[in-house]
């Protein structure tokens, strides 16, 4: 496999974006109509997906990234290599602050692939999106 974009393999990127696109189609977004899909790659090679699930109270809305991580956790995965998030925006967006913190719980160096439905994407390290982050290791000191 050809390595691209800071160490993530092109085949992995395409696979994750494809799975996130499929999950995005199942999003429940009747209020914002902003559908989001996510696919997270575990260290053992499994892929887990999620989509955003809105709620009329807005505060109870759950982001696609957190749904994907929750799905992975329920299947026993705890270590992740990368997550792809697909949005319907013109430019690639990044996970919200709450999602960044949840992702940080499972590794600050995972790759975050922000993609659009038009095929544009960008790969970053989570640590670049959440500099100076707080994690479980601080609680063990």
Q: What are the catalytic residues?
A: 65
Beta bridge partners of residue 113, listed in sequence order: 84, 123
Dihedral-angle region of residue 101 (phi above 0 means left; psi in -120 to 50 means alpha; beta otherwise): alpha
Cα distances from 110 to residues 28, 30, 53, 107, 113, in angstroms, run 27, 31, 24, 6, 10
């Amino acid at each position: 496999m050809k390595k691209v974009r800071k160490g993530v393999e092109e085949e992995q990127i395409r696979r994750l974006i494809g799975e996130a696109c499929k999950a995005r189609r199942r999003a429940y977004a009747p209020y914002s109509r902003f559908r989001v899909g996510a696919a997270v790659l575990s260290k053992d090679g499994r892929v887990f997906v999620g989509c955003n699930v809105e709620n009329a109270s807005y505060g109870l809305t759950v982001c696609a990234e957190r749904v994907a991580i929750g799905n992975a956790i329920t299947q026993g995965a705890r270590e992740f290599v990368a997550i792809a998030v697909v949005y319907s925006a013109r430019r690639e967006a990044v996970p919200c602050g709450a999602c960044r913190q949840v992702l940080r719980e499972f590794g600050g160096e995972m790759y975050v692939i922000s993609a659009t439905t038009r095929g544009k994407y960008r790969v970053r390290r989570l640590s670049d999106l959440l500099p100076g982050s707080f994690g479980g290791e601080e609680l063990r000191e």
